[in-house]
Structure 1
């Protein structure tokens, strides 16, 4: 069974982003990792982090001191308010530094203020949760700066000194490891040097892992989550679906209350004209054309949204479709509660289009439609015993069905081997 995909949004593409490069590099070939730029990137990331933190702390100290001194005037209050907001700039620098270890986009979590100007901007930033989250990260990062400096220093300096043990011993020096271990002979020095090289290799991995973990922490606290973008996209699509549904109801109401009523009145007028002695042939022709137009309008309204779907629900509407289908259709419905109206409408038109495809293209002698709830999702299955070979790329309407389902964050899957049978399976999340 293959999936028929709708076009992806930018947020969804970001959601499929690869794992951070540092982790992927460490999981690959060890020699390639050691001669690559990743250990150097990790060292640069860890070494510059404390410098950024120190600069931010100095700026915070100046703002806080000036704010306390100027507290009696308005400027002092503003300076104190800038202390937490200063973390916004710190976080912006950290998001740029993320590029050294993590190639994924790092969008800011901040929103645009509703009004321009410094005062609205400051008030808006102080009310944002992202600002205080960034302040917490800045304080935590300042505390972790000691670890960021100590780990590379111990790994690089310790390994370098130990690896040079043979040279130091040859020049009359000795190395002291703890209170009881002294290296002052060449054999011991060479053993220490070999061990130091091995420890350096392990240390480069440890240093890169620490840097990658720090980058992951920064991403978790400072970067707008992909999930948040997807939630916004889903909410936007739901609003669009709701707007389309409201517009559909308006068109249906206008057709029912306007054009259909006018045509009904025309038919009655033509009938009265016939009683007054007008040409019966012309009157009859006019009435026939008016009736045909009225039937077309009724079919159009039914195609926009059948009244049985509104009045009796999805199962009854699908049963009505099955009765009108030229191919015998069995309907199996197990729906303890009605889905939301927009989901119900989408499901109805999926079944209608699928049954139309069965009648036009499949050569089937029978079909079956199954409607059921599976947890939070509405599941539809349309089965037929036709010739199979259905392909969304050949313009059979399946891609359009997939797009309609995708509006509700659903999925459509097709199984149609040559010789049949064909199964279209649709899952649409629904809250009720």
Structure 2
């Protein structure tokens, strides 16, 4: 009932204000009418999704055209739906109540009429309640269909996933920075001190051999830490862009990889990060599973879409179900509305194609 009243009252007020505006001589009347429409539509548009919570406790998901849909629903409510809601309120509340109060409203009618009217009013109460509930539910369903059409929930899920990916990427950068400025610097200092101590001791002495082993272990740990930092987050990607970052990861691949990225400049951060990790994972799969002797990475911008292809001359047979990381790549690409296609027949070759819109 409150849901219907929240439509009927503003609608009736809007009509009364519009009628009053027509009584004013033009052009002042037109100006007043425009003000009435603006003053009525904007608050009702803001109130519509909140009013919906009276009959539907599921929040309305955000969509790119959410505000436009709210304005459209407000106009529809003020021009067409409010009077139906008002009629339903009058029928379900005022009608039965007036019948029940017949002895008070019409004290001069016959007793039989009073009893009959009261009886009919009491019998109409459950029917009226059911009718009001059904109409309120129908109005709520219509409002949700306008405010949140099919697919809006998916859009909200994608937005949520994008926020999670952004938060994850920020955390990766923080970890990379902490490792670079903390543990790596300490290992560098330790390696230098061990190296200086190694120079001051005879190589064939027991202490010299222990210091030498410790120095070698420190250098190996430093190299592994630097590799770990690159895997956590590529500083080359941040500083120099996708092309240089792909060249860097290809240069560290145990399989020779040719790189040909024809890009006009820097791309959006989300696009570069996603493309970089897709290429990194594809090259890791190439080295681990493909048994390839050579690979190639090509990339270009086609009508606002980044297209990257990773090829190899390996044995093929790449299957997402076998846990080669392809499923994870597809999920990551879905966040930025990208697409992944894989061609990997048995016997090879394998082609991984990635398309990421940059707009």
Q: TM-score range by the shorter chain?
A: 0.5 to 0.7
**1:309-348 correspondence runs (5 A):** 309-348=237-276
Contact 1:378 1:428 in 2 (8 A): yes
1:138 paired residue among 77, 92, 110 = 77
**1:141-290 correspondence runs (5 A):** 141-142=80-81, 218=142, 222-226=146-150, 228-274=152-198, 279-290=207-218
Between the aligned partners of 2:44 and 2:233, the Cα distance in structure 1 is 54
Contact 1:109 1:222 in 2 (8 A): no
Deviation at 1:345?
2.0
2:295 paired residue among 367, 374, 378 = 367
Matched residue, 1:396: 324
Unaligned runs of 5+ in 1: 1-51, 69-80, 97-105, 112-127, 146-213
Contact 1:133 1:221 in 2 (8 A): no
Deviation at 1:327?
3.0
Between the aligned partners of 1:419 and 1:219, the Cα distance in structure 2 is 56
Q: 1:334 to 1:276 in 2, by over 3 A?
A: closer
- Normalised TM-score (structure 2): 0.61
**1:32-181 correspondence runs (5 A):** 60=9, 109=60, 133-142=72-81
Between the aligned partners of 1:296 and 1:62, the Cα distance in structure 2 is 70
**Deviation sequence 1:320-364 (CA, Å, 0-9, x none):** 333333333222211112112232122112112112212222233
Between the aligned partners of 1:381 and 1:282, the Cα distance in structure 2 is 49
Matched residue, 2:340: 412
RMSD: 4.3
Between the aligned partners of 2:310 and 2:210, the Cα distance in structure 1 is 48
Contact 2:307 2:355 in 1 (8 A): yes
Between the aligned partners of 2:195 and 2:268, the Cα distance in structure 1 is 44
Between the aligned partners of 2:226 and 2:305, the Cα distance in structure 1 is 32
| Pair 1:383 & 2:311 matched | yes
Unaligned runs of 5+ in 2: 18-39, 85-137
Q: 1:224 to 1:290 in 2, by over 3 A?
A: same
Q: 1:298 to 1:130 in 2, by over 3 A?
A: same
Deviation at 1:424?
0.9
Instruction: Between 338-347 and 285-294, report the one with greater CA deviation.
Output: 338-347
Q: Which has the higher contact order (CA 8 A, sep 6+)?
A: 1
